[in-house]
């Protein structure tokens, strides 16, 4: 039996398992990959919102990343919530020092929770923009996050996606599920030396089970890249995965409920 692709998730811990590390691991398992994780922060939250965030000590995060590298070389890495500038620096230093060939990195720049809690301090946003974006194979912000990262407060999704590429990311997906009348995403990438921008169309699904959609999308995209898919193919399949997960949601929680990640 062939070994499954190893996919890493570097992200925060959500005790309700709707987002973060535990949701990422369910997504990785659903793609028949093997998931390992490095927790950047503990959160006190449920489907109603985030109550408190406690960052993991930077030296602990650094030791976890090295321990994983010693035993589980990654086929792809998803980076999610970082919480502090110190932990963003640890992750940037670690990714920069990885031996070649570098695995694909999917950066999900989580700045705020859907309930409005700050999940990355301002200095961390600067570190993410300066150090992590240039290391990303694909960056997957929502519209608000893309505007913060690019500084283009009124820009449309196409301008934002190409702007993120100019900041160093190989490709960008500006997700649109949290705004507008549909759930279409905008993808910018280069193929054969040609700059490509395309829309990943999707109708909006009316559902309150939307907690962790960004986490599931970015992790599913990382799994696709780990299995050798192109960026457009991985983004398209990740979008379909999230749609099915919303449709198969278990109906739990009093707020924005979790996806059916273990049912797709």
Q: Which residues of 60-88 are buried (b: 16+ CB within 10 A; e: fewer)?
A: ebbebbeebeeeeebbbbbbbbbbbbbbb
Question: At a CB cut-off of 8 Å and minimum separation 6, what does 222 contact?
Answer: 7, 9, 76, 77, 78, 104, 106
- pTM passes above 0.85: yes
Domains within the chain, CATH numbers bracketed: 6-247 (3.40.1190.20)
Residue-level pLDDT at 179: 59
The pair of three-digit structure tokens given for residue 37, joined into one six-digit string: 């994780």
Taken as a whole, the chain contains a residue count of 264
- For 56-114, strand residue ranges (E) read 76-79, 105-107
The residues that bridge with 171 in the sheet, in sequence order, are 138
Q: With 0-12 CB in 10 A as exposed, 13-18 as middle and 19+ as buried, what is 23?
A: buried
Q: What is the pLDDT of residue 240?
A: 95
**C-alpha 165 chain-centroid distance:** 16
Task: State residue 154's pLDDT score.
Answer: 87
Note the pLDDT of residue 183. 79
For residues 105 and 114, what is the distance between their CA atoms, to the nearest angstrom? 24
What is the distance between the alpha carbons of residues 49 and 146, in angstroms, rounded to a whole number? 22
Q: What is the mean pLDDT of each run of 10 residues along the chain (264 residues)?
A: 90 96 97 98 94 96 98 98 94 96 95 73 88 97 93 93 96 81 88 93 88 96 98 97 95 95 81
| Beta bridge mates, 44 | 52
pLDDT of residue 69: 98
């Amino acid at each position: 039996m062939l070994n499954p692709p190893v996919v890493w998730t570097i992200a925060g811990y959500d005790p309700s398992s709707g987002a973060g590390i535990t949701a990422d691991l369910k997504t990785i398992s659903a793609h028949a990959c093997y998931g390992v994780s490095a927790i950047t922060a503990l959160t006190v939250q449920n489907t109603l919102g985030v109550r408190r965030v406690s960052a993991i000590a930077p030296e602990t995060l650094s030791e976890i990343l090295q321990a994983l590298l010693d035993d589980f070389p990654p086929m792809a890495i998803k980076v999610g919530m970082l919480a502090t500038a110190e932990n963003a620096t640890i992750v940037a230093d670690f990714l920069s020092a990885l031996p070649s060939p570098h695995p694909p990195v999917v950066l999900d720049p989580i700045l705020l929770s859907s309930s409005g809690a700050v999940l990355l301090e301002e200095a961390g946003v600067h570190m993410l923009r300066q150090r992590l974006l240039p290391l990303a194979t694909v960056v997957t912000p929502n519209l608000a996050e893309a505007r913060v990262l690019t500084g283009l407060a009124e820009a449309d999704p196409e301008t934002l996606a190409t702007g993120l590429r100019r900041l160093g990311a190989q490709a960008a997906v500006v997700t649109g599920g949290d705004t507008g009348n549909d759930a279409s995403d905008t993808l910018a990438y280069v193929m054969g030396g040609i700059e490509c921008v395309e829309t990943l169309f999707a109708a909006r699904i009316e559902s309150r089970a939307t907690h962790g959609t960004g986490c599931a999308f970015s992790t599913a995209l990382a799994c696709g890249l780990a299995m050798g898919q192109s960026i457009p193919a991985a983004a398209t399949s990740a979008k379909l995965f999230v749609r099915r997960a919303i449709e198969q949601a278990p109906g739990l929680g009093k707020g924005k409920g979790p996806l059916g990640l273990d049912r797709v």
